[in-house]
Amino acid sequence: MKFLFIFNHQPYDGSDLTWNGLRLAKNLHNRGHDGRIFLISDSVDLARDCVKKPENYDNDLVAMLKEMYNNGVKLKVCGTCQARCGIYKNEPYFDEKIKATMNDLANWCEEADKIITF
């Protein structure tokens, strides 16, 4: 089954929203499902190396996403949002190959069996 996760929120916003979404995506991927993650709005900071885990936060979400990406979870990040969104506007993504467009997101939406937003 193809799962598409769309993240919108700043990674370290004081909630566990992003962490829980990543955990679910990782769990489904480990079960053999096609897990895809698309980052838009302020969630794009999750794909930037310059983002550091706050001292009061237990989990390094950027490292978690990178590990999932390196283990085969498909990842795309809105290219327009790179300059418009997040605390670290205009900072590069950890891999330029993940830069995408709304057309890419639309394609993934059409291909997905389930779409989950965080």
**pLDDT tens-digit map of 79-110:** 999 889 999 999 999 999 999 999 999 999 99
Spell out a b/e string for 7-27, using b for 16 or more CB atoms within 10 Å of the CB, else e: bbbbbbeeeebbbebbeebbe
Domain ranges within the chain, ordered by starting residue: 2-117
CATH node for 2-117: 3.40.1260.10
Residue of 24, 3, 1, 11 lying closest to 87 (CA atoms): 11
The whole model's pTM is what? 0.95
Position 4 confidence tier, pLDDT thresholds 50, 70, 90: very high
What residues have CB less than 8 Å from 115, skipping those under 6 apart? Answer: 3, 4, 6, 109
